[in-house]
Amino acid sequence: MKGAKRILRAGLLLALLPAAGCLSPHRSAVADVDPLGWREAAEVRFPNADTLAVCDLWLVVRYDAAFAGGPVDLEVTTVAPDSLRATEPFTLRLAPSRGPSPLLCDTAVLYRRRAVLRCAGDYRMTIRPCRPVRGIEAVGVTIEKSI
């Protein structure tokens, strides 16, 4: 009986081992916004289980040819699982889209380097433009482990 359990455990371990290689070192959460005039806050949520990892946070933006380019002033609010809230201004500097209108540009802009998300649970990030912006279709955050 013990030998059968040992073989079963070894089989499960071998079956799950390749799946561990599929774990991504980064996570993303993105919300769609009104491309005709983004003016409302967009909220994204992302879970955090690792309270010791050092990571980089990138703001992700998808925009089209209707975006005129130039700086976009934002207000970024982050709410931790323990309800701690931090709000700060942030300026995105994006180049205008050079392709035909149906083509979209995806850009990631570094927001925080070497951050530690100290609470386990769901973080909420709200991204709001300070004035309406035309041509931006989606915004969000990507989290990757720092090097």
Q: What is the pLDDT along the chain (147 residues), one digit of tens a residue?
A: 556 555 545 444 444 444 433 345 678 999 999 999 999 999 999 999 999 999 999 999 999 888 888 899 999 999 999 999 999 999 999 887 666 656 688 899 999 999 999 999 999 999 999 999 999 999 999 999 998
Instruction: Please choose, from the candidates 44, 81, 65, 52, the residue with its C-alpha nearest in 3D space to the C-alpha of residue 137.
Output: 65
The Cα–Cα gap between 139 and 73 comes to 13
Contact 121, 81 (CB under 8 A): yes
Burial readout 123-144 (b: 16 or more C-beta within 10 A, e: otherwise): bebbbbbeeebebbbbbbbbbe
* CA–CA dist 145, 85 (Å, integer): 23
Distance between CA atoms of residues 90 and 115, nearest Å: 16
Q: What is the largest distance, in Å, between two alpha-carbon atoms of the chain?
A: 71
Report the pLDDT value the prediction gives residue 105, as an integer from 0 to 100.
86
CA 9 to chain centre: 36
Q: What is the pTM of this model?
A: 0.78
Find how far residue 27's CA is from the centre of its chain.
6
* All domains in the chain, ordered by first residue: 25-145 (2.60.120)
